[in-house]
Amino acid sequence: MTLEEQIREAVAEGKTVGKPHIFRVGSKYVAKQFHEPFLASHDLRYANAAVRLGVRVPEPLGVYQVGKFHYFVMDFIDGVYRDDLSGEDWVNAFNQLEEAIFKLLRAGIDPNDSEWSQNSLYIVSEGQLYLIDYGHWQSAEHWAWNLWANYFRSVRSHMANPEMIEN
Ligand SMILES: Nc1ncnc2c1ncn2[C@@H]1O[C@H](COP(=O)(O)OP(=O)(O)OP(=O)(O)O)[C@@H](O)[C@H]1O
Ligand SMILES: [Mg+2]
């Protein structure tokens, strides 16, 4: 069976995970359903960016059209929400989330997300947190560039101060 056929079957059988538009495809994958192709591509693009940056996400497979819908397909993560953790696992998940957000921001990506409790899954046996749901992610390059440029300008003007230049 092709992946498209597997998606069609999962949808027909109503094999949803978590929400009505997320489908479990076979044992390995999850397919997130979109009306608009650009939204599915948005998720794929940011998932690929995360992989490049070493930010842990479910391995992205691609975007597939089945009928009138577009599906972003990724690995199924058999994890739990961060809010359902306690003790060492909670702290571990928190630290991993913080590290992931810093990596993204430094690369000019703003995850712009207020629902981290639902948009990350933690696999207890691995001790590893996976970010999911890139719907709100956006390029923060202009923002990062302005910050950097302002900082650079202030450092330069500081250095240009004659009092700072040693004779
Ligand atoms: N790769 C995955 N593996 C396992 N479960 C997943 C995966 N992706 C999503 N889920 C489940 O589906 C839920 C919803 O996923 P997601 O956050 O991507 O959708 P959403 O919040 O509806 O997205 P959006 O805000 O873009 O509409 C998750 O909280 C999780 O329970
Ligand atoms: Mg979500």
Q: What is the pLDDT of residues 115-153, one digit of tens each?
A: 778 899 999 999 999 999 999 999 988 888 888 888 878
Q: What is the Cα–Cα distance from 108 to 143, expressed in whole angstroms?
A: 8
Share of the chain above pLDDT 90, in %: 77
> Tell me, what CATH number does 108's domain have?
1.10.510.10
Distance 72 CA to ligand 1 centre (A): 11
Distance 114 CA to ligand 1 centre (A): 14
CB-based contacts of 133: which residues, under 8 Å, 6+ apart? 113, 115, 118, 119
In the predicted model, is pLDDT for residue 165 greater than 80?
Answer: no
In three-state secondary structure terms, 164 is helix
Q: Which residues line ligand 1 (CB under 6 A)?
A: 17-19, 22, 30, 32, 58, 74, 76-77, 118-119, 121, 132-133, 135
Q: What is the number of structural domains in the chain? A: 1
The residue to which tokens 């712009």 are assigned: 112
